[in-house]
Amino acid sequence: MLGSNQAHTLMDSIVKLGIKDDSAPVDKGQYQRIVGRLISLSHTKPDIGFLVSMVRQESRSRPLSGAVSLCNPFNLVIADEDFHKGFNIVYDKALANSLCKIFKKHALLFEDIGGEFDIPMAANAKSVREFDEGLTRVSFGFKSVDDYYSNSSSSDSIKNVSIPLLCIQAANDPIAPSRGIPREDIKENPNCLLIVTPKGGHLGWVAGGEAPLGAPWTDPMVMDFLEHLEQARSSIVASNTNLVDLHAEHGLQHLNV
């Protein structure tokens, strides 16, 4: 596989997989919890927030020049509240239905699982919150759904972001509500740039010369931002200047569209 690390201990081609009576027992519960986490992360909101939370941990010894966040539900508690209002309920039910379908493909893995898991609730969830209550929050080790949402939110991470971060949001996003955007923290952090469009829904920016087909207008903007960071990194390598110091000195702009 391209880009993979080389293994120092290759698997013998004549070895056959099987069960050994004297082998150490496998922690099946740990495997079940990992699968539960992957089901949620592959289809729901926290993945983008996780990226933003990780950006705050980037230090001068890390390789990232910057990052981009699109339609991030910064505050999952607020996102959950708004998900149960008006037409957003349609999105909630549709997402919950998709999660249930994915979960049922792996249902056999959870037949004998114990603890706080509520497998029937997860398998028949009518909302994302019900699915998270039955499976996700337990898989991640949280005591309640609200505890899971609060600790998984990235809104509190913005003030500590130390590398350039571009955030693009839509004011009418049903999944990432505008009122959850930490505007003041973004404004006070010179490493952050926030763009909020009046419309666009959730990743539905179709405006542009090629609309409604082709790439959304955000694609070239994101690429320009990333290319600028890469050019800035290349231009200052010889002078041994740190990219974070460069942006902290000049600051980023805050745009209202």
Q: Among 16-20, 97-101, 233-237, 238-242, which is the least confidently predicted range?
A: 238-242
Q: Which of 43-47, 63-67, 216-220, 233-237 has the highest mean pLDDT?
A: 216-220
Q: What is the mean pLDDT of residues 201-214?
A: 79
Residue type at position 120:
P
Contact yes or no for 110/138 (Cβ under 8 A): no
Confidence of residue 244 (pLDDT cuts 50, 70, 90): very low
User: How much is the pLDDT for 51?
Assistant: 64
The average pLDDT across 87-101 equals: 92
CA distance 77 to 149: 6
Strands 67-70 and 165-170: parallel
The pLDDT score that the predictor gives to residue 39 is 57
In this structure, what are the phi and psi dihedrals at residue 146, rounded to the nearest 5 degrees? -65, -35
The pLDDT of residue 5: 59
Task: Give the percent of the chain with pLDDT over 70.
Answer: 66
| Exposure string over 171-182, b if 16+ CB within 10 A, otherwise e | eebbbbbeebbb
Higher-scoring residue by pLDDT: 31, 69: 69
Domain assignments of the chain as residue spans, ordered by start: 28-256
Question: In this model, does residue 25 exceed pLDDT 80?
Answer: no
Nearest-angstrom CA–CA distance, 51 and 28: 29
Query: What token pair was written down for 73?
Result: 């539900």
Q: What does the pLDDT look like over 131-151, one tens digit per residue?
A: 999 988 988 889 999 999 999
Does the pLDDT at position 86 exceed 90? Answer: yes
The residue with greater pLDDT, 216 or 169, is 169
244 vs 203 pLDDT, higher one: 203
